[in-house]
Structure 1
Amino acid sequence: MTTYDTIGATYATTRKPDPRVAAQIHQALGDATTVINVGAGTGSYEPPQTVLAVEPSSVMIAQRPPGSAPVLQACAESIPLADDSADAAMALLTVHHWTDLAAGIAELRRVARERVVILTWDQTVTRAFWLLDEYLPEAIPLDDARAVPIDRLVTMLGGARVETVPVPHDCTDGFGAAYWRRPEAYLDPVVRAGMSMLAQTGEPALQPGLARLADDLATGRWHDNHADLLALDTLDAGYRLLIADL
């Protein structure tokens, strides 16, 4: 059983691709005419030229919409495909779940002819996000333990360009920092279930902080303390796109 067999049941509902994030990812893929999506989940951000998705979780595979690319149930660490199977390979918000990072990165480089694109986050930035820093510090150790330092990924890829992925204030993809300007959303258990950092930390550990957040929203304290955020259209919450030309 994979992690997402237990926490991924709501992803088709809560993790709808955001078109602005999609545009940046698709631009990073360049002129690739064939793409393999590794750790594909429900198929978010797959461009039309995706020829195959690789995903270990049957729960996630079952949520892929009709017309999605063919899917192969397999792990990133051992992709049963020939060398140079596609122009590009992409891995979006998945490398932190891999059991053998070096093997997974090597597989991405092996199956891609021209380019590897990875979406991940910089924990040195993300751990300061207000939700974690002020209300849910219990979730920080999980991400501290599993987050991959950006410079380590760049080295493993043999070099890569690193782009900041700004999070729109009305982001439609409910990943961890998506609701940075809509704090009420974090009080919704369905929303939280779509965020691995919260789902894996567990509701009992989160409840005291969520109660404080609810109180601060009711009194207006959160809005007073974060008036600067309310004037922003996007936020750098640490999400990074790595683009490696092979």
Structure 2
Amino acid sequence: MQDQKESVERPGGDVNYNVFGKSYHNFRQEEPEIKKAILNAIGDSKKILNVGAGAGSYEPTDEKYEVTPLEPSASMREKRPKHLAQAVDGVAENIPFPDNHFDASMTTFSVHQWPQLEKGLTEMRRVTKGPVVILTCDPHKVMDFWMYDYAPNVFQTESTRYPDLNKISQVLGGSVEIVPVPIPKECHDLFNEGYYARPEFFVNNCPGSYSSCSAWSFVDDETRNIYINNIKKDLDSGEWDKKYGHYRNQSHYIGSLYLVISNPKKE
């Protein structure tokens, strides 16, 4: 008999995290520097909506904030720590709150999985009277990362999933800033670029490492193993360090990670 939780699971976008992302909460911890950038963008807002909230990374936790998480995936809602607010079952395209209900809204690593991007962004703007803060990746820079040379299909797929930052800006409207987010060398949030100076950590922690980055779900097991083995081979031979060893000396990496911050225009 099929497990009941699996039978009722609704994928959170184009990935079923009940199947692929079982180690997600172990590898995708919030990075303090990235969280600081998000909180700075939120500013003095108190009542916050977190769309595609997942397991709760990057949600404001100070007592001055009132956070409402919105998350469509049952398995991701179950992964949320007990000290965080219980997530509402819902999607970005149909946010179950009235106009201007929140001071600010945010979403992290989520917009690339929305079936209807414009509708979701319009809904965020509708329910938010202050800043809308989007943490996402620039699709034009995704393939600049060294791992693309080893896993081209993963990153080609990733680049097609992420929406253009200018498109996000146009839909949100208002006064918009697009700000690069530097990734620290010891980044706690282990998305692909979080391994920029630590390739050994990626290959030595498979399958948890790749199964916490959703783009890896779009290649089959055989292809995935070939990609990972090629990284291992170049690490063992020293070829990786010849090509990319300079990253080991960088305290931060500026890659495809960006914040899109939309504030209503002052009348």
In the alignment, is residue 207 of structure 1 matched against residue 221 of structure 2? Answer: no
In the alignment, is residue 243 of structure 1 matched against residue 258 of structure 2? Answer: no
1:149 is matched by which residue type in structure 2? Answer: D
CA distance in 2, matches of 1:20, 1:202: 34
On the 8 A contact 1:12/1:42 being kept in 2, the answer is yes
Deviations 1:4-30 (A, max 9, x none): 233232221111101111111111101
Deviations 1:109-153 (A, max 9, x none): 011111100000112112110001x10001123113211011111
Could you say which residue in structure 1 is the equivalent of 2:193? Answer: 177
**212 and 127 in structure 1: CA distance in 2 versus 1, 3 angstrom threshold:** same
Tell me the secondary structure at the aligned position of residue 113 of structure 1: coil
On the 8 A contact 1:138/1:206 being kept in 2, the answer is no
In the alignment, is residue 124 of structure 1 matched against residue 114 of structure 2? Answer: no
In the alignment, is residue 226 of structure 1 matched against residue 239 of structure 2? Answer: no
CA distance in 2, matches of 1:130, 1:30: 34
CA distance in 2, matches of 1:50, 1:143: 33
**194 and 50 in structure 1: CA distance in 2 versus 1, 3 angstrom threshold:** farther
CA distance in 1, matches of 2:66, 2:253: 29
In the alignment, is residue 26 of structure 1 matched against residue 39 of structure 2? Answer: yes
1:13 is matched by which residue type in structure 2? Answer: N
CA distance in 2, matches of 1:203, 1:240: 30
CA distance in 2, matches of 1:204, 1:59: 26
> TM-score, with normalisation over the residues of structure 1?
0.96
Out of 182-191 and 171-180, give the one that drifted further: 182-191
The equivalent position to 2:211 in structure 1, one of 184, 193, 216, is: 193
| Aligned residue pair count | 245
CA distance in 2, matches of 1:124, 1:186: 24
The equivalent position to 1:157 in structure 2, one of 153, 172, 181, is: 172
CA distance in 2, matches of 1:50, 1:100: 27
The equivalent position to 1:216 in structure 2, one of 234, 247, 250, is: 234
When the two chains are superposed, the root-mean-square deviation of aligned CA atoms in Å is: 1.2
* Structure 1: gaps of 5 or more residues: none
1:150 is matched by which residue type in structure 2? Answer: L
CA distance in 1, matches of 2:99, 2:42: 19
**226 and 109 in structure 1: CA distance in 2 versus 1, 3 angstrom threshold:** same
Q: Structure 1 residue 200: deviation in Å?
A: 3.1
CA distance in 2, matches of 1:82, 1:9: 34
Q: Structure 1 residue 50: deviation in Å?
A: 4.0
Could you say which residue in structure 2 is the equivalent of 1:8? Answer: 21
1:171 is matched by which residue type in structure 2? Answer: C
> TM-score, with normalisation over the residues of structure 2?
0.88
Q: Structure 1 residue 182: deviation in Å?
A: 0.2
